[in-house]
Amino acid sequence: MYSFTEENYIKAIYKLQEKSGISVNTNAIAEIMQTKAASVTDMVKKLSEKKLLSYAKYKGVELTELGRKMALEMIRKHRLWETFLYDKLNFSWDEVHDIAEQLEHIKSTKLIDCLDEFLGFPENDPHGDPIPGKNGLIQRIELYKISELGIGEFGVISGVVNHSSLFLQHLEKNQLVLGKGIEIISKSDFDQSLRIKIEGGIPIMISNEVARNVLLKKSR
């Protein structure tokens, strides 16, 4: 059995490996784990002995197939619990993450598979992130930041980069929620702010900061 701490390290390393390529370095891990590089070295040695990752001194770490599988199971649990809180208990999308951080550590395969079924085998969590299946497969759709689209292009809001409560609440206030279709009207050369039209609404201005943190599936 793995401890909560071990599980959180594996999840953190997986996420780092996702974005920044292959080998993950000690300081990066220390930063997301809110700990010191020395502690990371200790833990990484332990996880390496448990065959969850491969590690070479000064060369960073890389998850093994076993470690990758474990990370995906954690993510599956996290996102299914978020969906439960959102769909069944009517939590808002900015409240679900912290509780899911606790729930993702509950050990029971049957529990998570029954929950999956109870929720109707959802494909995405309340933030639009894909939920890995029982098999560990994760279906990836090409998503674009609003800031990446050109004038006149259309898209459907399908995810967020920033998951903070503050940001999610801001989006909600501006009708920028999952599933909404939008069109790019114009861009400012001064501050890269955008004018967009939300389906069934009037055009609004959004900052470049917002545009870089909302993900779209291209449409039309």
Partner DNA sequence: TAATATTTTTAGACTAGTCTAAAAATATTT
Partner DNA sequence: AAATATTTTTAGACTAGTCTAAAAATATTA
Out of 76, 77, 127, 187, the only residue in the binding site for Mn ion (CB under 5 A) is 127
Please report how close the Cβ of residue 100 comes to Mn ion at its closest, in angstroms. 5
Q: 99: which residues sit within 8 A by CB, 6+ positions away?
A: 81, 85, 91
Q: What minimum distance in Å lies between the beta carbon of 108 and its own copies?
A: 5
Regarding 97 and contact with Mn ion (CB under 5 A), the answer is yes
The two tokens of residue 105 are: 């550590």
Rg of the chain (C-alpha set): 19
Window 140-159: residues binding its own copies (CB under 8 A): none
x/- track of binding to its own copies for residues 88-127 (CB under 8 A)? xxxx---x--xx--xx--xxx-xx--xx--x---------
Decide whether 11 or 127 has the Cβ nearer to Mn ion.
127
Sole binder of DNA in the list 18, 20, 42, 107 (CB under 7 A): 42
Q: Which is nearer to its own copies, 42 or 118 (CB)?
A: 118
CB of 16 to DNA, least distance (A): 11
| Coil, helix or strand at residue 136 | coil
Angle, vertex CA 119, rays to CA 97 and CA 103, nearest 5:
35
**Crossing angle between the packed helical segments 4-19 and 65-87, to the nearest 10 degrees:** 100
Q: How far apart are CA 55 and CA 63, in angstroms?
A: 9
Residue 97 or 187 with smaller CB distance to its own copies: 97
Looking at beta carbons, which pairs linking 7-10 to residues 24 or more positions away fall under 8 Å?
7/70, 7/74, 7/104, 7/105, 8/33, 9/33, 9/43, 9/44, 9/47, 10/47, 10/52, 10/53, 10/63, 10/67, 10/70, 10/71, 10/74
Cβ of residue 131: shortest distance to its own copies, in angstroms?
A: 17
Which residue lies nearer to its own copies by CB, 20 or 102? 102
AA identity, residue 132: P
At 210, list the tokens.
Answer: 């917002």
Is residue 46 a contact point for DNA (CB under 7 A)? yes
Least distance (Å) from Mn ion to the CB of residue 106?
Answer: 15
When asked if residue 5 is in the footprint of DNA (CB under 7 A), the reply is yes
Instruction: Name the site residues for Mn ion (rule: CB under 5 A).
Output: 82, 97, 125, 127, 129
